[in-house]
Amino acid sequence: MKLQQLKSLFHSELESIYPKTEIDSFFNILTEYKMGLTRIDRALQPNIELIEDQSLFFNKALLKLKKDFPVQYITGKTEFYSLPFKVNSNVLIPRPETEELVEWIQDDAQDAKNIHILDIGTGSGCIAISLAKNITNAVVYALDFSESALQTAQENAELNGVKIRFIHQDILKTDSLTEVFDIIVSNPPYVRELEKKEIQNNVLNNEPHNALFVDNNNPLVFYNKITDLAINHLKPHGSLYFEINQYLGNEMLQMLADKGFLNNELKKDIFGNDRMTKSKFK
């Protein structure tokens, strides 16, 4: 099979499931991953012959894509904040909205010296690692209850050449933290069970539910717990950042105010959704 035939096969097999632009994206990502082909290579060498191993890989990849399997899990990697990250079924695939949270923190902290940052529910480590890479002299801690997630995050820290202090701990069972921090940030589970119908199948059927969903009756469970801990573990003038459920912005602001936090800001993402908050306790 030639490369141009493979592209035609991708479209004929997937056109009933995905839009054309997404199919092109799958094709580009997978041919670069398996064959090392750049955009120019694909344009100038459409008649490259696939070897047997490559044909087998693409056939298996097509079967997975038909079942809504994320292409990032097929390649085992993705990009976040212009950095490479390994991903697998133990961690969420990082989202563009979370990049905006990282950028907000980086902009606020860029001129700070020797600050200590804690990322709670680190998953792949995308927030912690991006901050460690971009904020000079930051000491970054990353906490998660999942040993498998922490293993992936450790690999990503090594991949990106940063030192992160990893903590294996269930935040909901935590009464105190080991020290105080200049910044505490979290992108915890926040999708209510009632919102499952809004989640795409590739996410719903493959990404870890314990990193996504919360009970309808207690959707702020993680935010309440983390905010309580932040009261005693933020330094004076320290900041608390959250990525949040777009439907619960007002509830978040009220909860933060009720707990004594000041200057509570609610910020929209690039899609116009309420997506992140920033607060100070003192």
Domain range summary for the chain, segments of one domain joined by +: 3-67, 88-280
Rounded average pLDDT over 77-104: 96
Residue 190 pLDDT > 80:
yes
Q: What is the pLDDT of residue 197?
A: 85
Q: What is the pLDDT of residue 206?
A: 87
Q: What is the pLDDT of residue 136?
A: 87
Residue that wins the pLDDT comparison between 164 and 114: 164
82 Rama sector, left if φ>0, alpha if ψ -120 to 50, beta otherwise? left
Q: Does domain 88-280 have CATH number 3.40.47.10?
A: no
Residue 78 pLDDT > 80:
yes
Rounded average pLDDT over 207-221: 92
Residue 282 pLDDT > 80:
no
Q: Supply the DSSP symbol for 242.
A: E
Amino acid at the residue 8: S
Rounded average pLDDT over 24-45: 95
Six-digit token string for 267: 């910020």
Q: What is the pLDDT of residue 204?
A: 85
Q: Where does the pLDDT of residue 210 fall: very low under 50, low under 70, confident under 90, or very high at 90 and above?
A: confident
Contact by Cβ (8 Å): 278, 102: no
Q: What is the pLDDT of residue 273?
A: 96
Q: What is the pLDDT of residue 202?
A: 84
19 Rama sector, left if φ>0, alpha if ψ -120 to 50, beta otherwise? beta
Residue 277 pLDDT > 80:
yes
Rounded average pLDDT over 71-77: 97
Q: What is the pLDDT of residue 138?
A: 95
Mean pLDDT of the chain: 95
Q: What is the pLDDT of residue 112?
A: 85
Q: What is the pTM of this model?
A: 0.93
Considering only CA atoms, which of 131, 83, 124 is closest in space to residue 107?
Answer: 131
Q: Where does the pLDDT of residue 178 fall: very low under 50, low under 70, confident under 90, or very high at 90 and above?
A: confident
